[in-house]
Amino acid sequence: MDGMRITLPGTDLTVHPLCLGGNVFGWSADVDGSFAVLDAYAEAGGNFVDTADSYFWRKPGNSGGESETIIGDWLASRSNRDDMVLATKVGSWPERPGLSRQNIAAAVDDSLRRLRTDHIDLYYAHKDDPDTPPEETLAAFDELIKAGKVRHIAASNFTADRLAESLAVSEREGLARYVALQPHYNLVERDYERELAPLLAERGLSCLPYFALAKGFLTGKYQANTPVDSVRAEGAGAYLDERGRRVLAELDAVAERHGARPATVALAWLAAQPTVSTPIASARTTDQLTDLLALAELKLDDDDLARLTAASA
């Protein structure tokens, strides 16, 4: 890390310690709220924004691409595209499903148009496509890089076996290679550590975990018999079992020692894990963003990390 910047392994991308998730833009955050969060993030030195073409088609009245459109309009209105590192994804939106060569070629142009830019810094395969050979997918990504539409490629929601297969194809065929993985990983969701973490460590890929705060559960606002006004409340509440309460208690204890907030501590634990470069977390208000940005200033010691790891075992 250089000051408040981290270079993603295998790339020339230098980013803030917190990647701002764009999944709430056009969903639980309207245009004005999204612009406010993006402004506050940039003013604090943030430069890494993550979205997808599918965000957020499930909301009534939406069709998909809303988040990219909001981010693109913000970039254009602030004239700051060159200051930002932009990540988006292809493959999970019903309008542009899968990782075929044809779909990737069409989807990237759609995303570029909505984002109002001529290139994407980090382009993800949003999820594995078992119906398309990895040779076809990676050849399509390789063409995008050669055309200057994409700078680097990455994978999301891949198993260790399928990621290893893709890396082998890239090496064998001389094609562009995934430089990072975006998995579901946080203090209460640790399956990533079994097979994926060792693979990423061996192959030099970086981990950029999503749902870094377990749908808001690790912010500490979810307690028994306490209603929470959030579209993710039901999903987060599922963690409120004996183990979840143990994790929250340890988060509170570590937070108190550091004069920090539980959300900041949870992100700091994640950022300290082997292979993790930058956690991804979203905020629908600037107040929520404050706790996320504090990650850049918080360094947990070995005892803090051990206690949190043991509590979530």
| Average pLDDT, integer, range 7-12 | 96
Task: Kindly report the average pLDDT of the chain as a whole number.
Answer: 94
| Average pLDDT, integer, range 266-273 | 98
* Active-site option among 41, 55, 185, 192: 55
Residue 59's closest CA among 238, 219, 284?
284
Q: Give the pLDDT band (50/70/90) at residue 24.
A: very high
Length of the chain: 313
User: What pTM was computed for the model?
Assistant: 0.94
pLDDT one-digit tens code per residue, 142-197: 999 999 999 999 999 999 999 999 999 999 999 999 999 999 999 999 999 999 99
Q: Structural domain boundaries of the chain? A: 6-217+263-299
Chain centre to alpha carbon of residue 203: 20
pLDDT one-digit tens code per residue, 279-313: 999 999 999 999 999 999 999 999 999 999 999 99
Catalytic residue flag (residue 123) = no
Q: What is the SS3 assignment for 87?
A: strand
* Cβ contact 45:289 at 8 Å: no
Q: What is the pLDDT of residue 2?
A: 43
CATH fold of the domain at 6-217+263-299? TIM Barrel (3.20.20)
* Cβ contact 262:248 at 8 Å: yes
For residue 285, what are its two tokens? 């208000």
Q: What is the pLDDT of residue 313?
A: 93
d(CA 308, CA 312): 6
